[in-house]
Amino acid sequence: MPTAIAVTGADLALPPQDERTVPAAVLDGLDRRPLDQAVADVQTLLDQHGHLVVLYSRAVPAAVEQRLHTVRSLLESDRIALFRPELPPLGLAVLARQLRQLASCDLSPGVLASAGRLLTHYIHAGALLASVARLDRVPVGLTSHARSWMPGSQFAVLAHPQPQLVKIGPDTLLDGPEFGTWMLVGRGRLQSDWVTGTLAPAWRTQGLRETEAPAESAAWWGTDKLIEFCAYLPDLSVLYQLVTSVRQTVCHWCGIDVIGDLCVFCSATPPPAHEPRPTRALTAGGPRTHRALTTGG
């Protein structure tokens, strides 16, 4: 079975992009279930898939994040990767679906999980807001704060890859991607056609789909009067080429293949060049380093 890609809410499990997209594992209400049931559910996913990558946003309730770390600690598993990217909820849902697409390919669990950080750079995520008075994810000047109290004001905000905030006007635009993308639009309680009628054509999107904004979007953006949007790469062949073109390394700590300098499963970074690699040993739980044995890791 392919590596499991999990999200913390059913509205973050987007419909398949293509016929190869694997289903998302939904860990909904993780903080409201008994701890032993949460542990059992995650253990079942590990038994079925071998490795688990959980994506969750920075707007997730603190109790959910704490439960994720508690479950991972209780299972003492280095086969669970917890990934919280700098993306708003709709962008995170898109990224999770891209990893679900890649899960059907011949990528090792470490490379697949590492691909999340790589693909984040190719996502343009933002929102159209009726107010920025409570927005704290993107720098907001005093003038914008004052304007947000004026009736009828709307603001276009780009959260990623580079923060940008502008008041909607006749010629208002946001900096968009310099490559071909599709756009997903998540509608909240704000009524406007600016995203679909102005922004999407200006960004030369090759396709557009609509959905409801995730439940976490209101907390992330500071208002539910919003229309969230995300431009992304939809084609599996392009995603696969991006990931496989990056140099792969082996984590010196857990021995898994990764891309980049941080192992998403054990969080180890490469040791300094002058520092000798730790000696590996075998334990009942599988390969571990000598340091892990002596520290109880």
pLDDT at 279 (0 to 100): 46
pLDDT at 151 (0 to 100): 57
**72-93 pLDDT per residue, tens:** 999 988 899 999 999 999 999 9
Of 75, 27, 217, the closest CA to residue 135 belongs to: 217
Question: How far apart (Å, rounded) are the C-alpha atoms in residues 97 and 87?
Answer: 14
**86-124 pLDDT per residue, tens:** 999 999 999 999 999 999 999 999 999 999 999 999 999
DSSP string, 31-59: TTS-HHHHHHHHHHHHHHHS-EEEE--TT
Grouped pLDDT means (10 residues each) for the chain, 297 residues: 93 94 93 93 95 95 94 90 95 98 94 94 96 85 52 87 90 92 96 95 96 96 96 96 92 84 80 53 35 32
pLDDT at 147 (0 to 100): 55
Question: How far apart (Å, rounded) are the C-alpha atoms in residues 154 and 132?
Answer: 9
